[in-house]
Amino acid sequence: MTQKMTIPFSRPSSRIQAVAPSATKLMAQRAAGIENCVSLGQGVPGFSPPPHVVQAVQKMLTDNPTISRYTLQNGMPELRERLSKYLQDEKGVEADPDHEICVTVGGMEALLASILAVVDPGDEVLLPSPTYASYTEQVLLAGGVPVFVPLNSGWGLDLASLEAAITKNTRAILLCNPGNPTGNVYSAAEIHALCALAVANNIVLIIDEAYDYIVYDDTKILNPLSLDEYRNHVIAIGSLSKKYCLTGWRVGWVAAARQWMEHITKVHDAATICAPTISQCAALAALNGDQQWVATCCRKLAEKKEVCCSRLDRLTPHFSYVTPKGAFYVMAKYHFSSETSHQTANRLLDETGVITVPGGSFGQGGESHLRLSFGGETAEIHESFDRIERWLGV
């Protein structure tokens, strides 16, 4: 065999070396090598997109010659106008479509652009935790320091601990409402208190409402950008991914005061130029289409939540959990093992083919839990729990 000459790699940036690959995607990758897996893992809704969106896009592909071109950096004017109306009607947020809204490559890019516009190297970002794992990765990418502030035992905010965690280096608080991975929904009082904390300490509240459409009780989600007195300290992010089952289309938005948006748009332009035109067309069709479609999905998700929770109840005392109030996740605390959540999730996958996400990957407070997504097919949820029951010998 001939010996290949090995040329050493050049050094990757220290910024990227600080970032760990996402556990959600690692589990999916690991599962790809295992036959006959079933998933309670990645948060992908198990419905097809609304037929009217698919039809509108098909028509645009043939009728609209500009569909293959870039749009303006901040997005198609008609879409920004529609988003502005949506923000006003649904959230009481006033956002000028020309200067205060930017259409992005999913909520993910909106988050990264906002973090890069706000966070300098060494700045601290408070993450009520367990938190969406990508926040941690994005803060690290910006050279920032993630500071995990544990949620209370019911997954509510611990405002005293948040206040105590603020230092002269704190730049932002990052929160999703409803919460991934906890399924918690934060009350208007909690959002008011966070805003007051942000203004008093001159820091920014970045609020991510990727799951705003799916709340299981009558709690109304308060978007802090609707509160005039706090407006300059808030950046609001949203996504069409989950609501309209368009995860692969990659389209979301960010709204903020013009002063922030100027900077956010610079990042967005440098990284992407604009969100894909075809996806912006899909977004417009989704927002203009029959919203009954979304209501039907929410009803089905509420049924799936019941299935997931009743199957977990059957597994007491092996698991305990806080009933989710929104989104389609539950953090299931396991009591059958003292292994780490990574070891437990991997063993469960290897021995049963059930994909979950280790709770420890969502930061402090997530250890000893598995995050279960019940967004998929009901039959798959049942099959996953059947396997877990056999595995535990229940």
In sequence order, the 6+-apart residues with CB closer than 8 A to the CB of 47 are 245, 297, 300
C-beta closer to ligand PLP: residue 235 or 388? 235
As measured in angstroms, the least distance from the Cβ of 246 to ligand PLP is 8
C-beta closer to ligand PLP: residue 224 or 352? 224
As measured in angstroms, the least distance from the Cβ of 212 to ligand PLP is 10
C-beta closer to ligand PLP: residue 56 or 108? 108
Please tell me whether the peptide bond between 178 and the residue prior to it is cis, using omega within 30 degrees of 0.
yes
Strand-pairing partners, residue 235, are 206, 256
- Rounded to the nearest 10°, the torsion over CA 292, 294, 299, 301 is 170
As measured in angstroms, the least distance from the Cβ of 100 to ligand PLP is 19
C-beta closer to ligand PLP: residue 227 or 275? 275
C-beta closer to ligand PLP: residue 108 or 203? 108
C-beta closer to ligand PLP: residue 124 or 208? 208
As measured in angstroms, the least distance from the Cβ of 65 to ligand PLP is 28
As measured in angstroms, the least distance from the Cβ of 214 to ligand PLP is 12
Contact 375, 46 (CB under 8 A): yes
As measured in angstroms, the least distance from the Cβ of 252 to ligand PLP is 4
As measured in angstroms, the least distance from the Cβ of 104 to ligand PLP is 8
Token pair 């996953």: residue = 384
As measured in angstroms, the least distance from the Cβ of 45 to ligand PLP is 10
C-beta closer to ligand PLP: residue 106 or 318? 106
C-beta closer to ligand PLP: residue 170 or 239? 239
What token pair was written down for 310?
């009743």
Q: How far is the C-alpha of 374 from the C-alpha of 371, rounded, in Å?
A: 10
C-beta closer to ligand PLP: residue 84 or 104? 104
What one-letter code names the amino acid at 252?
A: G
- Rounded to the nearest 10°, the torsion over CA 381, 387, 391, 394 is 80
Q: How far is the C-alpha of 53 from the C-alpha of 81, rounded, in Å?
A: 18
Q: E strands, the chain, where? A: 38-39, 101-104, 124-129, 145-150, 170-176, 204-208, 234-239, 252-256, 319-321, 329-334, 354-355, 357-358, 369-373
Cα 260 versus chain centre, distance: 21
Token pair 């990957």: residue = 361
C-beta closer to ligand PLP: residue 241 or 356? 241
As measured in angstroms, the least distance from the Cβ of 368 to ligand PLP is 21
As measured in angstroms, the least distance from the Cβ of 329 to ligand PLP is 8
250: helix, coil or strand? coil
Which pairs count as long-range contacts for 140-143, CB under 8 Å and 24+ apart, including other chains? 140/15, 140/18, 140/19, 141/15, 141/16, 141/19, 141/112, 141/115, 141/116, 142/115, 142/116, 143/15, 143/119
What token pair was written down for 133?
């794992």
Cα angle 46-47-51, degrees, rounded to a multiple of 5:
160
Residue 163, Cβ neighbours under 10 Å: how many? Answer: 15
Residues that bind ligand PLP (CB under 6 A): 43, 106-108, 132, 176, 180, 208, 210, 239, 241, 247, 252
As measured in angstroms, the least distance from the Cβ of 326 to ligand PLP is 11
C-beta closer to ligand PLP: residue 111 or 312? 111
